[in-house]
Structure 1
Amino acid sequence: MKKVAVFGSSGSVGSSTLDILRNNRDKFELCAIAGGSNIQKLAEQAIEFQVKNVAVASDNKYKELKALLPNHNIVVGDDGLVLLAQEKYDVAIMAISGSDAIKPLDALLGNAKIIGLANKESIVCTGSMLVDKAKALGSKIIPVDSEHSAIFQLFDVLNADLVNRVILTASGGPFYDKPIEFINTATFEQVLAHPTWKMGAKISVDSATMMNKGLELIEAKNLFNLKAEQLDVLIHPQSIVHSFVEYADGALLAQLGYPDMKMPISYALNHPKRIKIDYRKMTANDLTNMMFLAPEFEKFPLLGLAKNVLKDSMESCIVLNTLNELVVGEFLEKKIGFVQIANKILKFMDKINIEKVASLVDVLSCVKDIKIKFNELSK
C-alpha cells in the first residue's frame, strides 16, 4: 500500500485527489494533509481518512483547527509544511498554489519517491534547480496539470533530441471568442466563469488573461529541458486535446481526454501503472466538433509577454510570476478591475530588476524583494 501526502488537500486538485483515494483504499494510505483557510473541510478530511499529521498555512487558524482535531498532530506555517514534507512518502501531491509551494516542494525532494506536481509557479521561479535536484535525490516529478501530464505521457525520453515541437493547448478561458471591448468591461463573475474546467479562483483569473498558459510554457521548458522556439500554444475551447508533441519524422502525437483533473492525478498517484477511475467517455460529437485557433496576442497581452520572457533569464520569470500573483490577488480582493491586471503587470515589468540568482535561497529572497518593490510602486 502506497503512503500518500496531499499538500493543498482542501483545494480543487486536493479534493479530486481524495476522491480517487476514497475509491482506492486498498491501494493508498493517506498519511498527511495540508491546507489553507478552509479549516472545516481540512478537519473533515483528517477525520474521514484518519490522518494524524495535518498542516495549516496560517498561524491564526491553529486554535480553530486544534479545537476540531484535538488528538491530531497539527503543524503551522512554512516551517510546518517543511516539517511535514520531510517525512517519507511513496507519493506526494503538491497542489499548494503560488510561490508558497517552493519550500515544501524542495523539502519533499529525496523524501517522496513520486511528486505529483500541480504547482507551476515553483518550476517557473526556480528554473531547472528543483528539477535537477529531484533527479539527483531520486524523486520523480510527474506533472499533474493536464497539459504537462499529456506531454509527460507523450514525451519519448530516448528520442528527446528528435522532438521538434511541443504544443500546449489552451481553452482560451471565458473570453477567447469575445471582442476586446467586451473583455475590457468584464465583470468579476464573468472572469471567474471558466467554460470547461472547475478550478480555483486564482487559476480561473489566470485562464481569463491566458497568463496561465504563458506560465505553463515556462514550466514546460524547465520540466522537459526544451528551448523557447520548440514551444507553442493553440486555443482549443473543447479542452479534449491536452497537448501535442511533434517529432523529427513528422509524427504529431496528441493526448486526449475529457476535461477532468482526476485522470492526470490518478496517473501520478499510481505511476507507472494506471488505475481504473470513473470518467466520462469520449463521444463522436466530442471528436468531430473540435476547434483549434491561434491565440490573439492583442486580446491576451500577458500571453505575449510570457512568450517573450520564455526567451529571457530566470530572473525575468521570477519577476513575471511574482507580479502576477500580487496583481491577481488585488483583483480577487476587488481592488482593481480585470483590464488593470495586464496593464499593471506590463507597466511594472520594466521597473523591477533583481540580482542574478544562483540558489533556492536567492529565489526566495528575490520574491520577497519583488513584493517590497511592488508595494512601493503601487503607492
Structure 2
Amino acid sequence: MKSPVSLTRPVRTGDAPRRISILGATGSVGTSTVDVILGRPGAFEVEAVTAGTRAAELAEIAIRLKARIAVVADPSCHGALVEALAGTGIAAAAGEAALIEAAARPVDLVVAAIVGAAGLAPTMAAIEAGSDIALANKECLVCAGSLFLGRAEAAGVHVLPVDSEHNAIFQALEAENMPAVRSITITASGGPFRSWTREAMQRASVAEALNHPRWSMGPKITIDSATMMNKGLEVIEAHHLFGLDADRLEVVVHPQSVVHGWITYADGSILAQLGAADMRIPIAHCLAWPRRYATETKPFDLVSIGTLTFEKPDLERFPALALARGALSGGDRATNILNAANEVAVDAFLKGGIGFLDIAACVAETLDRLAGGSGLPDIDSVAAALAVDGEGRRVARAVLGGRRALRTG
C-alpha cells in the first residue's frame, strides 16, 4: 500500500517567512488560519486571500495580514472590496478568473478552504503552480480524487490534510510501516441528533440542525455533520489520501471529540492523535510542517475530561454514511454525483424547502437515477469533473421538485 500523501519530510533551512495564500479566508477554517498566522509574527508572508461574497470581512483580513491581493468570487462585490481597501496598497479583484489567477500565484503553501465543488478549479490551479496544499476542501477529493492527486504527484506537490480526522491520521502514520497498516479509524461527534429518533429528526428545524455540540463550523459543514454525510465524505477523502480500500476505513462515534483518529497496525498496536476540538491545532500542524509551532489553544487536560466513550454509527438513522460508502465503490463519478446532490439538498434544507430526512433521500434518488454514469464523461480534467457535478445538481433539483409536487399534490 502506498499513501498518496507524501510522508517524506522536506528539508527546511533557516527561518525565512513562509509565503502563504488562503482560499476561503472568511470561513471557519480561513478565520482560524488567520488566528494562527497572527499568533506567529514574522513567520509568514501572505500573498492572496479570497472569499465568495463577504467583501468587508475579506478586506479586514487582507489588511490585518498585509496581503498583496484580495479576491472576491462574486463580481457584484468588487466595488465594495475596492472601496474597503482604498488607500491600503492591497490589490482587489473579482470573478472566477481572478480567483484562479490568485490561487496560481507562486507561494510555499496554499490553504484550500473554499467550501464545496467550487474549490476544485482554484485548488487545482495552485497545484499546477507547484504550491504545496493544506487541504480543507474535501470536495476536491470527493469530486475528482484520482485526477487531483495524480496532478499533485506529477507536480511534486505535498498535500497536507487539514480536516481534524485526516490530520490526526497524517500525524500518526509511520512512513516506513505503511504496509503494516491494518485499518484506519476516523471519529465522529455524532452531531446534534446523535440520540434523536428518526421521527424526531423528520421534524427537526434548521436551527436545531445547526446547533452542533462540539465544533463551530459553517452552515453547510454543520448540516453535513448532522446527517453524518460529513463522515461519509471523509471516508472517501481518506481512501484517496491514504490509499486504503473502504473495508479498511472505519467510522466510530465519539461524542467528546477528543480522539480524532487512530491507526491499527498489523502487530496489534494502535496509534491515535488526541487534542481539543479546535481547528487551530491541525491548521498549525500543516502551516508549520515538518516543524511544529506553539499555538494559543488552551492546555489540554485529559484528567478533567475523565471519560471517553465510543459507539458504532447507526446507519438506519444516518443513511448518508452508507450512501457515501456505496458511492465510493462506484468510483469518482459516483462520489462526484453524491457530493453534487448533497450540496443541492443541504442548500434546500437551509432555505426551508425540504425536511431534514429529505437530504439523504434526495441524494439516494439522484444516485439511483444516474447509476452507471451513462452519458457522463470520465473525470480526466477539471472541466469533466464540473460537467458531472452539473448533471448531478440538475438531477437533484429535479428530484426535489418531484418531492415538493408530491407533498403539495
Q: Identify the TM-score tier after normalising by the shorter chain.
A: over 0.9
- In the alignment, what sits opposite 2:231? 213
Letter of the 1:365 counterpart: A
Segments of 5+ residues of structure 2 without an aligned counterpart are: 1-16, 402-409
Q: Does residue 1:14 correspond to 2:30, yes or no?
A: yes
2:64 alignment partner, SS class: helix
Distance 1:216 1:89 in 2: 27
Aligned-pair distance for 1:287? 5.0
Q: Residue deviations 1:292-330, cap 9 Å, x none?
A: 000011110111111222222221101101100111011
Write out aligned runs for 1:327-342 (5 A): 327-342=345-360
| C-alpha contact 2:21 2:109 (8 A) present in aligned 1 | yes
TM-score by length of 2: 0.89
Q: Does residue 1:279 correspond to 2:301, yes or no?
A: no
Q: Which runs of 4+ in 1 moved over 4 A?
A: none
- In the alignment, what sits opposite 2:156? 138
Distance 2:385 2:365 in 1: 22
RMSD between superposed Cα atoms in Å: 1.5
Q: Residue deviations 1:165-214, cap 9 Å, x none?
A: 00110000011122222222111111000000010000000000000000
Letter of the 1:161 counterpart: P
Q: Does residue 1:242 correspond to 2:260, yes or no?
A: yes
**Match of residue 41, structure 1, among 57, 82, 87:** 57
Aligned-pair distance for 1:264? 0.4
Distance 1:313 1:113 in 2: 27
Aligned-pair distance for 1:274? 0.3
**Match of residue 365, structure 1, among 368, 377, 387:** 387
Distance 1:358 1:43 in 2: 36
1:338 alignment partner, SS class: coil
Distance 2:33 2:379 in 1: 34
Distance 2:238 2:394 in 1: 29
Write out aligned runs for 1:173-212 (5 A): 173-212=191-230
1:242 alignment partner, SS class: strand
Q: Does residue 1:307 correspond to 2:325, yes or no?
A: yes
Distance 2:51 2:114 in 1: 8
Structure 1 residues 302-311 or 260-269, which shifts more? 302-311
Letter of the 1:157 counterpart: A
TM-score by length of 1: 0.96
Distance 1:50 1:147 in 2: 31
CA shift in 2, pair 1:153/1:284, >3 Å: closer
Distance 1:363 1:357 in 2: 8
| C-alpha contact 2:52 2:73 (8 A) present in aligned 1 | yes
Segments of 5+ residues of structure 1 without an aligned counterpart are: none
Structure 1 residues 133-142 or 239-248, which shifts more? 133-142
Q: Residue deviations 1:18-53, cap 9 Å, x none?
A: 111111121111111001222211111122222231
Q: Does residue 1:29 correspond to 2:50, yes or no?
A: no
Letter of the 1:55 counterpart: V
Aligned-pair distance for 1:75? 2.4
